[in-house]
Structure 1
Amino acid sequence: MTVTVRDFRAGDAEGFARVRHLALPFMLSTPESIAYDVAHAHPDAHFQPLVAEEDGELVGTAQVGVAHESPQPGQGYLNVYVHPEHRGRGAGTLLVSTAEERLAALGTSKAFAWVLDDPTHRAFAERRGYGAGRSAHFLRLDLANGSLPPLQEPPAGVELRSAADYAADPRPLFELDAETLLDEPGDISYEFTDYEAWLESTWHHPLLSHELTSVAVVDGRPAAFSAARTGGDGRYDTAMTGTARAQRGCGLAKLAKNDSLHRARAAGFTEAFTGNDAGNGPMLAINEWFGYEICATEVRHVRELG
């Protein structure tokens, strides 16, 4: 068995998405979204996906790049996933070493990696000098058979809209997304400052459903939202739920997410997924109220690059 690692090619999108789905079925990934991410990555991200092949078969993937939206320079990331039936044959090790070489050449001083929280995966990371940081949960909701909280009437002065209502001018949603991101817990802090880049990476992304993304509007301005992603296979994912700082504590995030979930179920979606930092108590409580259950956990690991 011969394992090799090379750069991603356009024809790899289907195999890349398949391996990602088998290794991480809680996160939406389609050939179209993979190809879009590669084609529309910001130049400062230096996004360099890699694939591992075993005797010509694509068996592993790595997302490699620089956290260019962080105010702290020198931070890179590598997220490596290997086909479950091909683990232990060297694909993961070769992907990690190649990714680290790429990041070091870009001048990054730290490499961050998400690692599934089980003994085998954590031991793999620790043997390569990675130390554990924050953890995050994947959560699942059975939309087909579970019971959602009843739809709520918006309180006086609040209106529910969809992101599709902002097709002509999505900048108000960019501003709300940027504000809520500042308070998102994590090992790496991010800032959205480039509207055109946000349009490319978020607004025009093929997984984002403008119709199912719900927005709570107060005094004509978006105050809370729940961003929906869909993969065309009955699965729905909440990419982000947030509220403007001045409007927090009023139940607007719960209102928007409930509206989006009900419309997703009415549209025929059967499974809902989301992810939360393990320390994000308020959002975990909201998702528990909806009936979500934790289905997996990842731990962010980091290594200093010499």
Structure 2
Amino acid sequence: MEIRVVTAADAEAVSRLRRETYAYSVMSPAATRHMITVQGPGERFLALVAEDGGEIVGWGSAGLNVWTSEPGWSSLSIYVHPEHRGHGIGGALAERLHSHLGEIGATRVRAFATPAGVGFATGRGYEPVREMHYSGVDPRVLPDQPATPDGIRIATLDTLEPRQLFLADTIASLDEPGDSPMDSVDYDHWVAEVWQSPGSDRSLGVAAMAGDEVASFAAIERDGDRAWSGMTGTLPQYRGQGLAKLVKSVALRRCAAAGIVGAFTSNDDSNAPMLAINHWLGYRRIETQTGLLRNL
């Protein structure tokens, strides 16, 4: 078994590993290649793969969170193919990544673990702090679409200018549940990482427009016949009108019309409004991951 730095040529194998490890996780090979190759310089991002007999069986990545004003925050992700667990791959990846985080000045690191992985994380000094629920729905079977309120029109995201969606995304994200505020997002970095991601299908994503302003939106990432709801958000002044329910309902219908048969998402356990919307849409829980923090 060899651990090495990932390359763009590994994207298809990493995407396949992700799907085989987490059936509900959607990231196409093109989006995976983008994730591997596009980061802001301040992130100091390191991504590793574990290779066994020429087959990629493990992934590990870590870097600084540059979208928050609080210094020292970082994130870490490790997953190993189910058939290759118990052989020290995860531990070897963790050792390399924690060393990297120490070298780049990280002081706190966030990670998520499946129920089977919580013991691995807590044994390395992580403490559980929150829960993240993953769920899925067949977009071909949905409740009736809500009415569009007066003064609101529906537009697909591919008809917008990036600055319009950036403003809505960053404002709506300010009160998104999390361990550190997402209050320092650079526009150029956002364009490169989010707007230009090949996994994002802006013809399926939808916005509720109040004049030229994005009042609410639902972004969609696609991998073949599967979709991922990357973000659904509503500006504070437009909340309480059912716009999030509306845009997500419209977006899922567009997914179904495009041949998508499975749509997936995740929600923090404390995000009761979005959990209620997804339940109404027919999403059913697949797995709950534990969010953990460790001081470095």
Name the TM-score class by shorter chain.
Answer: over 0.9
Letter in 2 for 1:40: V
The aligned residue for residue 140 of structure 1 is: 136
Q: Indicate yes or no: 2:185 matched with 1:187.
A: no
- Matched-pair contact (CA < 8 Å) for 1:163–1:210: yes
- Matched-pair contact (CA < 8 Å) for 2:156–2:207: yes
Pick one of 73, 78, 81 that aligns with 2:79. 81
Q: Show structure 2 runs of 5+ residues with no match.
A: none
Structure 2: distance between partners of 1:257 and 1:112:
28
Structure 1: distance between partners of 2:35 and 2:295:
27
Which 10-residue stretch deviates more, 20-29 or 76-85? 20-29
- Matched-pair contact (CA < 8 Å) for 1:50–1:64: no
Structure 1: distance between partners of 2:262 and 2:184:
30
The offset of 1:149, in angstroms, is 1.7
Pick one of 263, 281, 284 that aligns with 2:254. 263
- Matched-pair contact (CA < 8 Å) for 1:38–1:47: no
The offset of 1:259, in angstroms, is 0.8
The offset of 1:192, in angstroms, is 4.8
The offset of 1:10, in angstroms, is 2.5
Structure 2: distance between partners of 1:206 and 1:192:
24
- Matched-pair contact (CA < 8 Å) for 1:225–1:241: yes
Identity among equivalent pairs (%):
36
The offset of 1:4, in angstroms, is 2.7
Letter in 1 for 2:262: E
The aligned residue for residue 150 of structure 1 is: 144
The offset of 1:56, in angstroms, is 3.6
Structure 2: distance between partners of 1:10 and 1:40:
10
Q: Indicate yes or no: 2:197 matched with 1:205.
A: yes
The aligned residue for residue 13 of structure 2 is: 15
- Matched-pair contact (CA < 8 Å) for 2:66–2:184: no
Q: Indicate yes or no: 2:158 matched with 1:164.
A: yes
Deviations 1:168-203 (A, max 9, x none): x22111100010010100123212532111111111
1:1-306 correspondence runs (5 A)? 3-116=1-114, 118=115, 120-144=116-140, 147-166=141-160, 169-232=161-224, 234-305=225-296
Q: Show structure 1 runs of 5+ residues with no match.
A: none
Structure 1: distance between partners of 2:246 and 2:37:
35
Which 10-residue stretch deviates more, 120-129 or 49-58? 49-58
Q: Judging changes above 3 Å, is the alpha-carbon distance between structure 1 residues 291 and 39 closer, same or farther for their aligned structure 2 residues?
A: same
- Matched-pair contact (CA < 8 Å) for 2:207–2:215: yes
Structure 1: distance between partners of 2:100 and 2:203:
39
Which 10-residue stretch deviates more, 237-246 or 213-222? 213-222
Q: Which runs of 4+ in 1 moved over 4 A?
A: none
Which 10-residue stretch deviates more, 192-201 or 211-220? 192-201
Which 10-residue stretch deviates more, 14-23 or 82-91? 14-23
Aligned length: 296
